[in-house]
Structure 1
């Protein structure tokens, strides 16, 4: 029986992999967000949840999860933490007592207003290395990649 020589693919540096840079950029984006919003004690995911509830008062947790691209159990934990801080509240749906509808409290609205300038500063810092003329194109390409690959996510966004 002739021996079959196994061939191994040539080594590839991770610097040629878009996924590596996307993961690193996400780490950097979170670090910058946390630096800029440190005084407010809020994470990017908590910000996304608060902003989405502010934009759609009375949203249910399942819809919130779909809107920000998280699974429902992760959103439940986020909502628990925000509720325990007095930033949002759950109320029963008039149509289905099992469904909890979310609204911001006055404290949640105040925090959202206070964090907004720092959140914008974080976004500007993330894009600052790009020439101003390329930032809109970069954002367009990011949206294209996310939207085209959304269904591949473990928690596809519905928004």
Structure 2
């Protein structure tokens, strides 16, 4: 019989618990009341301006139904703005507010420190290998998730373009 400490699923669940605890330990003192998923949404909205909620859910590998609650909370905090899409009245376009930008600027050093703390048991080379293997395993099993990561489609290069 295999011990729990030798099962990747158990260790991944434990590491997720640790990652969330470390995130909150670093971020909560700032008084921003952000969860890791809310941070992921804000950070993604900084990179991808004015995207619909379904696209945001795909970019952060979050359930399309549950993303509505995340956006509701971020809207209530004044960090994002949500409007009806001009091209599809069923869709909602989400964007960062000035307050959202300021909150991201304020929280980013704490989030970066959290990443350092999460990897503190590994030397620099081990951290690189760990991240490479974690990325490889996650990408290989992405389609097995209830909420797979769905990257934005990249446009095909046009003929003759450099």
Normalised by the length of structure 2, the TM-score is: 0.90
- The separation in 2 between residues aligned to 1:108 and 1:118, in whole angstroms, is 16
Alignment match, 1:12: 2
Residue 142 of structure 1 deviates from its aligned partner by: 0.4
Matched, 1:84 2:76: yes
1:51 aligned to which of 30, 39, 43: 43
Instruction: Quote how far apart the aligned CAs of 1:72 are.
Output: 0.9
Three-state SS of the structure 1 residue aligned to 2:18 is: helix
Return the alpha-carbon distance in structure 2 between the equivalents of residues 75 and 142 of structure 1. Answer: 25
Gaps in structure 1 of 5+ consecutive residues:
1-10
Indicate yes or no: 2:96 matched with 1:104.
yes
Residue 120 of structure 1 pairs with residue 112 of structure 2: yes
Report whether the alignment pairs 1:36 with 2:26: yes
**What is the CA-CA distance between 1:106 and the residue it aligns to?**
0.7
Matched, 1:144 2:143: no
Q: What residue in structure 1 maps to residue 158 of structure 2?
A: none
Computed over aligned residues only, the root mean square deviation of the Cα atoms, in angstroms, reads 0.8
Deviation of 1:12 after TM superposition, in Å, equals 2.5
2:15 is matched with 25
Offset, 1:15: 1.3
In the alignment of these two chains, the number of paired residues is 149
User: Equivalents in 2 of 1:114, 1:29: separation in Å?
Assistant: 20
Q: For residue 59 of structure 2, what is the aligned residue in structure 1?
A: 67
Equivalence for 1:6: none
1:52-99, Cα deviation, whole Å (9 max, x unpaired): 111111110000111111111111110000001110011121111221
Secondary structure in 2 aligned to 1:82? helix
Q: Moved runs in structure 1, 4+ residues, more than 3 A?
A: none
Rg larger in structure: 1
TM-score, normalising length: structure 1:
0.91
Q: Which runs of 5 or more structure 2 residues have no equivalent in the other structure? A: 152-162
